[in-house]
Amino acid sequence: MTVQAATAPTHRTRAQIVRDMVEIRLAVNEAGQDIATVLTENGVDVSAVDWTQVFPHWLIACVDEHVIGCCQVAISKPFGYVEFMFVRPEVPAKLKAVALRKLIIQSMATLHAAGCQYVGGVVEKGNRKFSNVLENLNFRRTYTADVYVKRLR
């Protein structure tokens, strides 16, 4: 094989191009407001939250330097948790699916590297599509519950 043949450009499918558009990053504190925007656009009330300290607990999904998705990764043992996994509503369905899948995979890798044995998270009861995605990745439903939150002051 010649050098030219080894370096010749190869054809990339549309799926590969979309997949490669999404980059997962560890959020720095400056990304806090972008995370808040993603959550707000998905109906999560974050109006009273200080978003200046998000590092190292959040992952962000970016396309062309723009934050399109996020999730919070909470390391604890033996169960680690992934919460607030959202993608901006206006993102096209295929790009949204890629971003969610990459966020799931990176959050699991982060928890595994930290020594967690399991990953847990809460999925809205009516979100059957996302539940199906998780079940296809061998996640199992453990119980149904209401989720409560209280501001600490």
Sequential DSSP letters for 27-95: PPGGGHHHHHHHHHHTT---TT---S--TTTEEEEEETTEEEEEEEEE--SSEEEEEEEEE-TTS-HHH
Q: 13-136, which class in CATH?
A: alpha beta
CA angle 99, 103, 105 (to 5 degrees): 120
In the prediction, which pLDDT does 102 show? 95
The predicted-structure confidence for 10-27, as pLDDT tens digits, reads as follows: 788 887 877 788 999 999
- Residues 111/76, Cβ–Cβ less than 8 Å: no
What 8-state DSSP symbol labels residue 115? T
All structural domains of the chain with their residue ranges: 13-136
The predicted-structure confidence for 49-82, as pLDDT tens digits, reads as follows: 999 999 999 999 999 999 999 999 999 999 999 9
Of 76, 80, 87, the closest CA to residue 39 belongs to 87
What 8-state DSSP symbol labels residue 153? -
Whole-model pTM? 0.85
